[in-house]
């Protein structure tokens, strides 16, 4: 039996797989638009006759849900939908874990949107059919990123070494997190132009720098030209490529391939922003924007001037349209409809077995530091474990929401000692269950642990 595949993060997909998705999507797009095919409307590619897609949405949506449903219908399948948490069994207090276990019997694929970071990963742990993340809290929205990259392809750009500026709420926007990971993996330069206080989360920065080959360009090199840029990342697959990217004495190329705008994610934050960047024709009048694709995941609520709608650079409605062929490709590859061998042949996606897992199942000890992580949900958390990936000797990543923990201390459950300066030895993680992590010394003391006297590696 083939391994069950999920798409909870853009990093679940290899570059090869992403390119396969684009190739299948191009084919579908061609068929959808072919004026010579018999029906002018209502054309269905119809390779997936009889398949059922379930959309389980715990947050408002029109675009994403309808585009998934439309994609499944165009493939010849059908969909069932739970679009409103208030009228679903969640209103009766049912956990996501139970819901997906049950819904796995009703449908061939589950598409899930949830307000909690890491919800899709939790769902994937319990589902017996493929789960696709349609947005989980501020974590990720991988199929949006596939649409975004496909849009750039269709706009005639080369995905390698793109020059992309990103504006708005980089903290709360899950689409941005998936997007920057993908951009970095394709070797892009990324100019971050966040609204004040809405900078990219620290763990995303860390990952760009430590896992995705990015380095931050010193501010002096670009500040004069791009005063509103907060951080400029450059990526290089190999060190010698750096000179290829920055052909202008180390300065970033002037031509911006894409200006990606995002709205303020009001559903994630308590207040309103004091100021929020608006992108309009004035902003885009500089020569470096002359061939820029203006992008937006939509909905927009004011940060992108509607006067741009008739600007030839405005790519955002085309971008939305690509949602259908892209999601057709994702569905058909995950379910094995397409002629291509599909996603199933790449076990484990982009992160196969890269990190050891530290599974702290006891009630005591460290939990994810992200208050919006699914593990902190009173109901859902009972079905999650305190599970971390060991991404560096003294760094943990939450298995669900992928937030990082850089500060913690290690205790030994047998000796009841703890040390403040010890990393987690890989051997402990692999072989034993006798270590326990704490957020800090106070937490360890409160749990009845005592500090080791001398500083040493072993506890």
Considering only residues 207 through 246, tell me which ones interact with a second copy, judged by CB under 8 A.
Answer: none
Please count the residues of this chain forming the interface with a second copy, following the rule CB under 8 A: 73
Member of 160, 196, 282, 382 binding a second copy (CB under 8 A): 382
Which span (33-41, 201-209, 398-406, 421-429) binds a second copy, by CB under 8 A? Answer: 33-41
| Residue 423 near a second copy by CB under 8 A | no
Member of 158, 196, 317, 458 binding a second copy (CB under 8 A): 317
Alpha-carbon span 345 to 294, nearest angstrom: 35
Q: Minimal distance in Å, beta carbon 324 to a second copy?
A: 6
Member of 107, 200, 279, 308 binding a second copy (CB under 8 A): 107
Member of 5, 9, 18, 48 binding a second copy (CB under 8 A): 48
Count Cβ atoms within 10 A of the Cβ of residue 317 and give its class: 0-12 exposed, 13-18 middle, 19 or more buried.
Answer: exposed
Member of 153, 320, 357, 392 binding a second copy (CB under 8 A): 320
Considering only residues 51 to 80 of the shown chain, the ones binding a second copy according to CB under 8 A are: 51-52, 54, 56-57, 60-63, 65-67, 69-70, 73-74, 76-80
Q: Which of 30, 33, 63, 282 is catalytic?
A: 63
Q: Which of 40, 92, 312, 339 is catalytic?
A: 92
Burial letters for 350-373: b for 16+ Cβ neighbours within 10 Å, e otherwise? Answer: beeeebbebebeeebbbbbbbebb
Q: Minimal distance in Å, beta carbon 211 to a second copy?
A: 32
Farthest-apart Cα atoms in the chain, separation: 81
Considering only residues 79 to 98 of the shown chain, the ones binding a second copy according to CB under 8 A are: 79-84, 86-95, 98
Q: Which two tokens stand for residue 277?
A: 């960047």
Q: Minimal distance in Å, beta carbon 93 to a second copy?
A: 4
Q: Which of 5, 6, 74, 113 is catalytic?
A: 113
| Residue 335 near a second copy by CB under 8 A | yes
Q: Which residue lies nearer to a second copy by CB, 60 or 451? A: 60
In the residue annotation, 39 being an active-site residue is answered as: no
> How many CA atoms lie within 13 Å of 342's alpha carbon, on the beta-carbon side?
18
Cα angle 81, 83, 89; round to 5: 90
In the residue annotation, 391 being an active-site residue is answered as: no
Element (DSSP H or E) covering residue 358: strand 356-360
Alpha-carbon span 440 to 418, nearest angstrom: 10
Element (DSSP H or E) covering residue 295: strand 293-295
In the residue annotation, 63 being an active-site residue is answered as: yes
Considering only residues 255 to 284 of the shown chain, the ones binding a second copy according to CB under 8 A are: 263, 266-267
Burial letters for 56-81: b for 16+ Cβ neighbours within 10 Å, e otherwise? Answer: bbbbebeebbbbbbebbbbbbbebee
State how far the alpha carbon of 435 is from the alpha carbons of 159, 402, 426, in Å: 44, 22, 11
Considering only residues 168 to 197 of the shown chain, the ones binding a second copy according to CB under 8 A are: none
Member of 103, 176, 180, 295 binding a second copy (CB under 8 A): 103
Phi–psi pair at 272, nearest 5 degrees: -115, 150
Within 10 angstroms of residue 162's Cβ, the number of other Cβ atoms is 20
Q: Minimal distance in Å, beta carbon 117 to a second copy?
A: 18
Within 10 angstroms of residue 452's Cβ, the number of other Cβ atoms is 18
In the residue annotation, 141 being an active-site residue is answered as: yes
Considering only residues 354 to 373 of the shown chain, the ones binding a second copy according to CB under 8 A are: none
Q: Which residue lies nearer to a second copy by CB, 24 or 103? A: 103
Phi-psi region of 45 (alpha: psi -120 to 50; beta: other; left: phi over 0): alpha
In the residue annotation, 92 being an active-site residue is answered as: yes
Q: Which of 141, 177, 203, 296 is catalytic?
A: 141
The three-class DSSP label of residue 326 is helix
Member of 3, 39, 287, 454 binding a second copy (CB under 8 A): 39
| Residue 121 near a second copy by CB under 8 A | no
Q: Which two tokens stand for residue 89?
A: 């069994």
Q: Which residue lies nearer to a second copy by CB, 79 or 167? A: 79
Which span (12-20, 50-58, 250-258, 410-418) binds a second copy, by CB under 8 A? Answer: 50-58
Member of 244, 306, 446, 458 binding a second copy (CB under 8 A): 306
> Do residues 386 and 367 lie in contact, with contact meaning Cβ atoms separated by under 8 Å?
yes
Question: Any idea which residues carry the catalytic annotation?
Answer: 63-64, 92, 113, 141
């Amino acid at each position: 039996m083939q391994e069950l595949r999920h798409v909870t993060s853009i990093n679940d997909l290899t570059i090869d797989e992403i390119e396969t998705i684009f190739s299948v999507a191009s084919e579908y797009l061609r068929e959808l638009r072919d004026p010579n095919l018999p029906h002018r409307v209502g054309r269905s590619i119809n390779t997936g006759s009889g398949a059922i897609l379930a959309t389980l949405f715990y947050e408002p949506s029109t675009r994403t849900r309808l585009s998934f449903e439309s994609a499944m219908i165009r493939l010849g399948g059908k969909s069932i939908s739970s679009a409103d948490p208030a009228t679903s069994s969640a209103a009766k207090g049912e956990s996501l874990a139970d819901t997906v276990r049950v819904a796995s019997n009703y449908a061939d694929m589950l598409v899930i949107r949830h307000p909690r970071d890491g919800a899709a990963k939790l769902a994937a742990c319990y589902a017996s059919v493929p789960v696709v993340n349609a947005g989980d809290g501020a974590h990720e929205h991988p199929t949006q990123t596939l649409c975004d990259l496909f849009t750039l392809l269709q706009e005639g750009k080369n995905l390698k070494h793109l020059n992309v500026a990103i504006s708005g709420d980089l903290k709360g926007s899950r689409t941005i997190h998936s997007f920057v990971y993908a951009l970095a993996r394709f070797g892009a330069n990324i100019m971050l132009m966040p609204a004040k206080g809405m900078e990219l989360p620290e763990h995303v920065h860390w990952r760009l720098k430590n896992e995705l080959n990015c380095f931050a360009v010193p501010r002096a090199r670009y500040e004069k030209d791009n005063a509103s840029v907060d951080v400029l990342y450059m990526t290089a697959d190999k060190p010698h490529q750096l000179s290829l990217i920055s052909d202008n004495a180390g300065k970033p190329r002037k031509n911006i391939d894409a200006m990606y705008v995002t709205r303020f994610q009001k559903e994630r934050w308590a207040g309103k922003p004091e100021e929020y960047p608006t992108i309009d024709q004035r902003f885009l009048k500089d020569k470096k924007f002359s061939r820029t694709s203006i992008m937006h995941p939509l909905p927009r609520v004011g940060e992108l001037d509607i006067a741009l709608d008739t600007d030839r650079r405005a790519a955002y409605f085309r971008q939305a349209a690509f949602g259908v062929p892209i999601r057709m490709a994702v569905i058909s590859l995950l379910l094995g409809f397409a002629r291509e061998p599909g996603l199933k042949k790449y076990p484990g996606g982009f992160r196969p077995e890269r990190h050891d897992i530290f599974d702290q199942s006891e009630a005591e000890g460290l939990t994810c530091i992200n208050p919006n992580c699914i593990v902190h949900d009173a109901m859902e958390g009972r079905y999650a474990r305190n599970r971390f990936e060991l991404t560096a000797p003294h760094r943990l990543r939450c298995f669900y929401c992928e937030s990082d923990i850089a500060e913690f201390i290690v205790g030994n459950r047998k000796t009841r000692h703890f040390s403040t300066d010890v990393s987690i030895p890989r051997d402990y993680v692999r072989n034993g269950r006798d270590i326990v992590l704490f957020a800090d010394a106070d937490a360890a003391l409160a749990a009845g642990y005592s500090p080791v006297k001398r500083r040493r590696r072993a506890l």
